[in-house]
Chains A and B, each alone.
Chain A
Amino acid sequence: MSEYKFEEFNHQNILGVVIIFAQSVRKMLNAYLAFFAYSIFSDGIGKYAWWFFGISLVFTAVTSVLKYRNFRFKLDDTQLVLNSGIFTKDVMNIPLDRIQSVQMHQNFIQRILGITGLKIDTAGSSSEELEIPALKRKKAESLLELLKGKIRNEDLPKSDERMEESSEVLKKKSLKETLVNLDFKAILVLAITENHIRNGLIAVAFIMGYAGQYLDYSEQFVVDVFDDYAPELVESGIALIIVFVFTFLLLSVLLSFIQVILKFFDFKAEVDDQSFYISSGLIKRNEFTIPLKKIQFLEWKTNLLRKRLGFESISIHQGRSVESVGKNLLEIPSCYSEQTEKVMETLYTELVDDDYFFLLQPHTYQRVFRALVLSLFGIPFFLIALIATEEFVVFSGLYLVYVFVMIAAAEKYYQSINLWVNEEVIIYERGWIFPKRTVVKLHKFQTVELTQTVFQAKRNICHLTFSTAAGGRSFRFFDKNEMEELRDFVLYKTESFTGKWM
């Protein structure tokens, strides 16, 4: 086992040149495939394409050798170090306890050459680069052993903990409580109260994007038809608009129903003191287990209709890791107040109202800014309508009404914003037509950013952006002194937290 010295810098197996070359050629082909195919078949540039191809191959061969030569790695007690780069020199240090998993990996070429790649997953954002592509099988095995050994050593107390956890889970299995169980009526209510217009617009955008490819063919057809029927079309213009709007609304509602039924049929959410268990779906049945510790933050969302009926949906944001992209956001679509209470009880210690460390409202400038942006946003539409119809007075009047409505809306929105912080969580509440409430545990934060423009400096206001492993949220237009205090508080909480956070 100890025939290899990983404490010093190692090169890969010399056959690594071939592997790197093959990888680069494949990347190059991917990038230039269309170009090559085109130029080989069109006679004018055909021979230049071959030249270009040849030169690219030689260039790739040279860079492969350089890449091989400059790629070195070593492993010491605390970290794995990778050196790479031809023109840029990259040194990457990976602390061993940040490594999530190590895998051996062999593609076709690697198998022919009798060589193994080692992939290292760190849950970071650039994890695809963390690969040692060419090692002799024995060497790869011994490095893997060594890495696993070191990771496991660090992990020992954790795996003990996990054992305890799982035995506790066994004991408490009977305690698993049903949180939400949607029957068909509940699903119908859900479908009716969906945001139909948004669903419709998403569908239209999707269809437009898809149809865009065929537009060239259909354009001529549309133009022909339009030319033939132009007078009738203009005459029935208003009727057409009404029909169009009606069809759009009908289709949107239909779409909402289909979506909701497909997604949430026989929806079931259960909870115990370790995890959420969610299962749902009509055609494709999905089942998820979400350990409570992995949850980064929760967001309650609702709309005016649903608020009146007394329910909200909860989005569960989990930490992003490479293999579960897209699966990191789960939803409990319908939660009444007692279920919300149950979730809060499970996840957070008791929240006492007067226990709040901070209770903040944004600076009044927030509503001014919002009203201004919304008002400016309307200008192009009214301007187009004005120019098209030349009804100056009507549209100026309408615009004035629009501005007043926007000012009122901004005021309403401003009133709805609340930021509560206690010893454990931040609760950020905002929204009036679509109220939202984000709840984050203080120690989940990993980056805190305070932003201020020159114009805000005079009023002493700023934005504060928090990021967790599942994305972040911005608190906008708050008093700067208060935000600095909040930042220091959150940093203190995160930095003094010693447990697992994802």
Chain B
Amino acid sequence: MLLENLQLEKSDLPLLGNVDYSPHPKDYRDMRLLILMIVMFLLSGFWIMQLVFLNMTAMGVIFLIWVGLLSLILLEEIKGFKKRGYALRQRDITYKKGFLIHSQTTIPFNRVQHCETTQGPLSRAFGLMSLKVFTAGGASSDLRISGLRPEEANRLKDFITEASSTYE
């Protein structure tokens, strides 16, 4: 039981770097791009309004900033999508994401409080579902994995719930 008293060499550690990550279905990227387009469309009204009040130079500068931002976001979305993925191990789940800022978040199952799957109207249209893993304490340490197939999300939820309830 007292595994923690074993002498441990650094080379004996189970490595997280070696695991394979499961990617999201392509639909998830399409959904994100669609949301991006909707947001852009809504914001474009704001820019057109500016056109009435500003002169051409100011407009040009704003337009350039706008294009720069947009291409950065598109770069993040398209390059970043390939970087997204989750990995299950026997005792923890890891989710990685992000191109410009890449992050890998790991939650051990014995620290999970509960699990939830949610599906909004848009993700239902795309046949996707989100999984939320809650830990104790603040929301900053919770994990959310969006854009999973419903059966996969539910399987993950059941697996994590099962795994976390075997611990004290």
Nearest CB on A from B9, distance (A): 10
A487 at the binding interface (Cβ < 8 Å): yes
Q: Give Cα A457 to B98, complex, Å.
A: 13
Nearest CB on A from B86, distance (A): 14
A55 at the binding interface (Cβ < 8 Å): no
Question: Would A448 and B136 count as touching, CB distance under 8 A?
Answer: no
Q: Given the complex, which residues of A lie within 8 Å of B111, measured CB to CB? A: 445-447, 494, 501
Q: Give Cα A92 to B4, complex, Å.
A: 33
Question: Would A320 and B1 count as touching, CB distance under 8 A?
Answer: no
Partner of A446 from the list B17, B104, B107, B118 (CB cut-off 8 Å) is B107
Summarize B's interface: helix, strand, loop or mixed: mixed
Q: Given the complex, which residues of A lie within 8 Å of B113, measured CB to CB? A: 98, 122-124
Q: Given the complex, which residues of B lie within 8 Å of A445, measured CB to CB? A: 108, 111
Nearest CB on A from B146, distance (A): 13
A337 at the binding interface (Cβ < 8 Å): no
B157 at the binding interface (Cβ < 8 Å): yes
- Given A93-B157, A484-B17, A125-B138 contact (CB < 8 Å): yes
Q: Given the complex, which residues of B lie within 8 Å of A443, measured CB to CB? A: 4
B30 at the binding interface (Cβ < 8 Å): no
Q: Give Cα A176 to B116, complex, Å.
A: 44
Question: Would B110 and A494 count as touching, CB distance under 8 A?
Answer: yes
Question: Would A452 and B102 count as touching, CB distance under 8 A?
Answer: yes
- Given A445-B111, A471-B138, A97-B118 contact (CB < 8 Å): no
**Within residues 114 to 166 of chain B, which ones have a CB less than 8 A from any CB in chain A?**
114-121, 134-143, 154, 157-158, 161-162, 164-165
Nearest CB on A from B25, distance (A): 19
Count, chain B residues at interface, CB 8 A: 53
Question: Would A467 and B140 count as touching, CB distance under 8 A?
Answer: yes
Count, chain A residues at interface, CB 8 A: 61
B82 at the binding interface (Cβ < 8 Å): no
A470 at the binding interface (Cβ < 8 Å): yes
Q: Give Cα A488 to B165, complex, Å.
A: 23
Closest to B123 in A: A88
Most B CB atoms within 10 A — which of A78, A123, A488? A488
- Given A95-B165, A488-B15, A493-B4, A472-B104 contact (CB < 8 Å): no
Q: Give Cα A320 to B158, complex, Å.
A: 26
**Within residues 177 to 227 of chain A, which ones have a CB less than 8 A from any CB in chain B?**
none
Closest to B137 in A: A469
Contact string, A254-288, partner B, CB cutoff 8 A, digits 1/0? 00000000000000000000000000000000000
Contact string, B52-63, partner A, CB cutoff 8 A, digits 1/0? 000000000000
Closest to B11 in A: A485
Q: Given the complex, which residues of B lie within 8 Å of A487, measured CB to CB? A: 16, 106
Q: Given the complex, which residues of A lie within 8 Å of B3, measured CB to CB? A: 496, 498
Q: Give Cα A485 to B6, complex, Å.
A: 18
Q: Give Cα A79 to B110, complex, Å.
A: 16
A242 at the binding interface (Cβ < 8 Å): no
Partner of A319 from the list B103, B118, B137 (CB cut-off 8 Å) is B137
Question: Would A122 and B114 count as touching, CB distance under 8 A?
Answer: yes
Question: Would B118 and A85 count as touching, CB distance under 8 A?
Answer: yes
Closest to A296 in B: B137
Closest to B157 in A: A93
B100 at the binding interface (Cβ < 8 Å): yes
Q: Give Cα A445 to B111, complex, Å.
A: 8
A450 at the binding interface (Cβ < 8 Å): yes
Nearest CB on A from B35, distance (A): 15
A432 at the binding interface (Cβ < 8 Å): no
Question: Would B103 and A450 count as touching, CB distance under 8 A?
Answer: yes
| Minimum-distance CB pairs A-B, first 3 | A467-B141, A446-B111, A95-B165
